[in-house]
A and B are shown apart, each in its own frame.
Chain A
Amino acid sequence: MIRFLLRRIGLAVPTLLGVSIVIFVTIRIVPGDPVASLLGPTGSAEARERLTKDLGLDAPIPVQYVKWLGNVVQGDLGRSIAKQTDALPYVWEAFRNTLTLSIFAALVAILGGIALGVLAATRRGRVASGFSTAVSLFSISAPQYSVGLILIVYLSAGRGWFPSGGMRNPTGDSGFGDLLNHLWLPGISAALVPLGIIARMVRSSMLDALSADFVESLRARGIPEWKVRWHAFHNALPSVLTIAGLQVGYLLGGVIFVEIVFSWPGLGLVVFQSISQRDLPVIQAGVLVSALAFVVINLIVDALHGLMDPRIRR
């Protein structure tokens, strides 16, 4: 088990290196530069020249990359050009907010997805199955952005049940309840796509498991149906876990649209803004942190797999 995990961690390093090179190069190829966006239309030519030099943007891209990588190895992810602050703490704070949203959304997606999937698999051909299939199809195809806006317009501005955005109440109490109150709408919007995907995965894995030979033999032994289903569910879990892990990984990368609509101060919003400002150090730090989170989630999923299914523990 330990060797298995070590090998996985070893694989993570080249993955992150590859991600960092791709993002470093692509963001420099697209038109627009941080100096122009920092100075706006009012800056002077001298200021522009001086700033380009100060930021080290006049060096060739490979030189810039090596220098950047050298600093990253020492834990220095550079300084935000637009925010005039160190990039890592800035990105880290946003990542923590995204983590909060992601965990909430993941819970909604996993619990909802499993419930819907099991319902669809065990009530085949009935209304409940049709309902759950329809819900999962809707949740995959409905654009998060529109769903978010609809929730805001009807449940927040219309009924006043939930705040329309932000993460904390700016004037009142800021306890856990306050946070939770702000979590519902963005959490549900962000959970929709993973919920649908998980539900479909659960349904097909459950159907596979339910048609396996051992189910027949369990039934033949007179074991109650709910126990038979529990066994089938257990067998369906590993593949569900893989999909759920991937989905949580995507959530952690920052749910950009949801974060914009709900002004959620997360990583997606920070990276989105940094891209429009060409704030290179923040974009790089943000992508690196979310890539790292993705790798870590996959590691955890692999480890859980190993715990659940001894066959892959080599």
Chain B
Amino acid sequence: MPARLAHRTRPRSVVLGALALAASLALAACGTGGGGGGTDAATDSGAASNTLVIGMTATNIPLLDTTLSQNEGYEGIRFVGNQMFDALTRFDLSDPGKIPDVVPALAESWEPNEDLSVWTFKLRPGVTFHDGEPWNADAAMFNLDRIINDASPQYYPELNAQAGLAISGVQSARKVDDMTVEITTKGPWSHLPADLTTIFFGSPKAIQELGNDGFGKAPVGTGPFKFKEFVQGQRLVMDKNAEYWRGAPKVDSVILRPIPDPTARVAALRSGEVNWIEVPLPDDVESLESEGFTVHLNSYDHEWPWVLDTSKPPFDDKRVRQALNYAIDRDSLANDILQGTASPLPQAAAEANFAFRKENDTYTHDPEKAKALLAEAGYADGFTFRLSFPTSGSGNMVPIPMNEALQADLAEVGIKVELEPIEWAAMLQDFFVGNIPGGAEAINISLSYQQEGFWTSWYGTDAATNAGKYSNPEVDALFKEAKTIEDPAARSEVYAEASKLITDDAAWLFIVSDMNPRATAPSVKGFNMPKSWFVDLTGVSVGDGTASTDQ
């Protein structure tokens, strides 16, 4: 008993201390939290200081080092790569009504040789990096060597790996004179200028002085926005580059915030903490619009298909694949479940792909025709197959209700689909080497044609990522021919022809194309949503600070 008495004071002091701490916390809370002073401040300072605050879908801020920015999916290229850096070429995103053309950026012009295997790029004069270093052939070569030349001291294997398909055609590069570089490709490579839109250039001086790690925390490019501050997991702050060669951006700064949960993202927009969000849920679109927010929609080069394994029954039979394509109700999926945030895809090419031709629209909702095709193929009583699908992941929209709706459509014509959910990372590993996870007969995946090379990657007979094992020698020949045609308009005719063949073959079940939904506060002006995954923020402005419009 005495021992206990002697120790009585200690636990009491622990409890009392905790109480005191809690009380002080509570007091501090009343001082600042009461009445929501903090959130109002965010709204006001956003509008008054002309700051664009973007709620991204990514879980974290993307990497900041040039092309490594695509590590959080292509959202990183959209908001980090394209904003702080430039590439030799860029997509012209100024006209929302037209598929973006590839136009000069850090290169002023380019000229290929006869067979399109050696490309001479004239660099744009008078451009400087944010640290004042000049843009010239030495700077270009330093960056290109960093990506492709494993003999150079600055070679960065992860950067090479991440550059992926965009750099896959490049054999070598050399400096011709102070403002000219020459790139040699692996054979004819007509779409090199389009590929190079995501190969970004950083200041050689900054990269050398800071090293890869340091540069990744304080990057220096030539883009419309300059790096200002980076807080891991919380925000990236970029200030406008007043000397930008295309003209200074209208906003003073852009802040990126990762908000992975869609409901929280919409809430952040409603409470005024951000004035721009990516991908609101389809169900929120209508209410956001009625509250005065602008929901931006436009088609871009994206597809949400089921890739069918054409190497084994039942999908080795073209009629069965066509039957699937006739059995589903794309309009209802796009308008009811997705509330217009996606458009039906009745052919192989999305509307914003240059291979799209209206007359190639083939598949309508025609269950009778589907049944007839199935009967013809010997499946009058239907069949059962397994579909592997990721439950989330970049560009996958709302995969569970979407796949369930398709399952119901197919049941109407006697086809039973067993849905097998799989985690995105696990799915990618298989898809990457051209397999469908778990030996299923089909896989649902979200794909976007950021580079023309994707046509070959997905439908080419020998392509590593052709998970459906689709093969058509005529299509292969057209892809090969396209590599030798420089004029984009003429090339698009060839792809349109290939796309028509693929559509008729019903290589995949073509379903819908995403409309890239995003929402902005009424104070955000001057944004015209292009037919592209990418955005041009230079023309965007935020409020005038006189009226609080974010209520």
- Cα distance, A32 to B28, chains bound together (Å): 47
Residues of B close to A217: CB separation below 8 A? none
**Interchain Cβ contacts within 8 Å, total number:** 248
Q: For chain A, residues 21 to 40, give those with C-beta under 8 angstroms from any C-beta of chain B.
A: 30-33, 36-40
- Is A45 on the interface with B (CB-CB < 8 A)? yes
Q: Chain A interface: which of B127-135, B233-241, B505-513? A: B233-241
- Cα distance, A167 to B38, chains bound together (Å): 12
Given contacts A84-B212, A269-B59, contact A36 B432 (CB under 8 A): yes
- Is B384 on the interface with A (CB-CB < 8 A)? no
Given contacts A156-B271, A164-B273, A172-B42, contact A84 B216 (CB under 8 A): yes
- Cα distance, A181 to B26, chains bound together (Å): 11
Q: For chain B, residues 421 to 455, give those with C-beta under 8 angstroms from any C-beta of chain A.
A: 423-433, 437, 445, 447, 450-451, 454
- The answer to whether A38 and B162 have CB atoms under 8 Å apart is yes
Residues of A close to B42: CB separation below 8 A? 163, 169-172
Interface size class of B (residues with CB under 8 A): 35 or more
- The answer to whether A177 and B164 have CB atoms under 8 Å apart is no
Residue ID in chain B nearest A85 by CB atoms: B213
- Cα distance, A167 to B268, chains bound together (Å): 13
- Is A308 on the interface with B (CB-CB < 8 A)? yes
- The answer to whether A276 and B424 have CB atoms under 8 Å apart is yes
Instruction: Name the contact of A42 in the complex, choosing from B22, B165, B268, B437 (C-beta under 8 A).
Output: B165
Interface of B is mostly: helix
- Cα distance, A156 to B263, chains bound together (Å): 12
Q: For chain B, residues 2 to 36, give those with C-beta under 8 angstroms from any C-beta of chain A.
A: 3-4, 7-8, 10-12, 14, 18-19, 21-22, 25, 28-29, 31-33, 35-36
- Cα distance, A54 to B159, chains bound together (Å): 13
- The answer to whether A93 and B232 have CB atoms under 8 Å apart is yes
Residue ID in chain A nearest B261 by CB atoms: A261
Residues of B close to A170: CB separation below 8 A? 42, 53, 234-235, 237, 255, 257, 273
Residues of B close to A176: CB separation below 8 A? 28
Given contacts A166-B273, A172-B45, contact A308 B261 (CB under 8 A): no
- The answer to whether A84 and B7 have CB atoms under 8 Å apart is no
- The answer to whether A111 and B264 have CB atoms under 8 Å apart is no
- Is A307 on the interface with B (CB-CB < 8 A)? yes
Given contacts A39-B161, A44-B165, A170-B235, contact A163 B273 (CB under 8 A): yes
Shortest Cβ gap from B64 to chain A (Å): 10
- Is B41 on the interface with A (CB-CB < 8 A)? yes
Residues of A close to B426: CB separation below 8 A? 30-32
Given contacts A50-B161, A171-B51, contact A84 B68 (CB under 8 A): yes
Shortest Cβ gap from B470 to chain A (Å): 16
- The answer to whether B232 and A94 have CB atoms under 8 Å apart is yes
Residues of A close to B445: CB separation below 8 A? 41
Residue ID in chain A nearest B166 by CB atoms: A42
Residue from A47, A149, A184 whose CB has the most chain B CB atoms within 10 Å: A47
Residues of A close to B261: CB separation below 8 A? 149, 165, 260-261, 263
Q: A248-286 CB contact bits vs B (8 Å, 1 = yes)?
A: 000000000000111101100110110111100000000
Residue ID in chain B nearest A171 by CB atoms: B45
- Cα distance, A34 to B382, chains bound together (Å): 40
- The answer to whether B8 and A41 have CB atoms under 8 Å apart is no
Residue ID in chain A nearest B446 by CB atoms: A41
Instruction: Name the contact of B271 in the complex, choosing from A85, A107, A164, A265 (C-beta under 8 A).
Output: A164
- The answer to whether B7 and A31 have CB atoms under 8 Å apart is no
Given contacts A30-B426, A44-B164, A263-B257, contact A177 B31 (CB under 8 A): yes
Given contacts A265-B233, A276-B424, contact A166 B257 (CB under 8 A): yes
Given contacts A43-B164, A171-B49, A277-B425, contact A111 B22 (CB under 8 A): yes
- The answer to whether B168 and A44 have CB atoms under 8 Å apart is yes
- Is B266 on the interface with A (CB-CB < 8 A)? yes
Q: B330-362 CB contact bits vs A (8 Å, 1 = yes)?
A: 000000000000000000000000000000000
Residues of A close to B160: CB separation below 8 A? 47
Residue ID in chain A nearest B45 by CB atoms: A171
Residues of A close to B464: CB separation below 8 A? 44-45
- Please give the residue numbers on chain A whose beta carbons come within 8 Å of chain B beta carbons, in ascending order: 30-33, 36-45, 47-48, 50-51, 54, 82-86, 90, 93-94, 97, 104, 107, 110-111, 149, 152-153, 156-157, 159-173, 176-178, 180-182, 184, 234, 237, 260-263, 265-266, 269-270, 272-273, 275-278, 304, 307-308, 310
Q: What are 19 A-B pairs with beta-carbon distances under 8 A?
A: A32-B429, A37-B428, A37-B429, A41-B465, A47-B164, A84-B68, A93-B233, A104-B25, A156-B268, A156-B271, A157-B268, A170-B234, A171-B42, A177-B32, A234-B8, A263-B257, A263-B261, A277-B425, A278-B425
Besides the contacts A181-B29, A181-B37, what 6 more A-B pairs have beta carbons closer than 8 Å? Answer: A36-B428, A38-B161, A161-B33, A161-B36, A263-B259, A278-B425
Nearest 3 A/B pairs, CB to CB: A265-B233, A177-B32, A157-B267
